[in-house]
Amino acid sequence: MRLPLIYLVLAVFTGTVHAQAPDSNHVDINGHFIGEPVTRFLRLERDAREDVDVCRRNSIRSSCQGLLAAVDGGGRAEVSTETSRDLDNPDRPVVSIEFVLDKGKVVKVSIPVDNVGEIAKKFGPPTHESIIPSRNASGTTWENHLTVWESPSVYATLYQDNNPSVQDHRPLLVMESLEEHAREDTAARVQNVATQ
């Protein structure tokens, strides 16, 4: 009789510990997650929904063809929206969020973040962290910071560009599907070979 009780206690304890650990496969950023269906994305993003409505009325524009293909036919498009103003912090700037839609789903989200601690809490311990020494033509040096989280379905980076000539030093969070990351990695390698 004791053995089944011990298994039950272990199962409950293990489930509790597992439930408390961050699951980077289902992390949401501004209510969005990787793999989110385009229909849900449009419900949450008024700017994108308005762009789609305009394109449905005037689909001759070249920018509309890609957007409508991504929304209706599983094509690929990049969409930019803005966060609404924060009524508690009216001086806070409006933030642009970049999305990539592909095959009917959100495959990439890019957004500057104010609270790095919140991001670290959502993703848990990073897979990799690095400091990138940088220098400009006039000899000024600084260090940029890169944090990477990899999971079975999501690749996320938090990059802080500390270049003194850049005005906004907030880290940029990029969260993408593994397929999207592989696609961009391959494109970057091809471009590096072409420029050498």
Query: pLDDT tens across 31-50, in order?
Result: 899 999 999 999 999 999 99
pLDDT at 174 over 60: yes
3-state SS, residue 10: helix
Boundaries of every domain in the chain = 23-195
- What is the pLDDT at residue 164? 92
Identify the pLDDT of residue 114.
87
Instruction: Specify the pLDDT at position 90.
Output: 67
pLDDT number for residue 159: 97
Q: Yes or no: say if 39 and 48 are a contact pair by the CB < 8 Å rule.
A: no
Burial of residue 99 (CB within 10 Å: 0-12, 13-18, 19+) is buried
Q: Read off the pLDDT of each residue in 98-105 and give the average, rounded to a whole number.
A: 95
pLDDT value, residue 4: 43
What residues have CB less than 8 Å from 101, skipping those under 6 apart?
38, 41, 70, 71, 76, 77, 78, 79, 107
182 pLDDT higher than 50: yes
Sequence-distant (6+) residues with CB within 8 A of 43 are 49
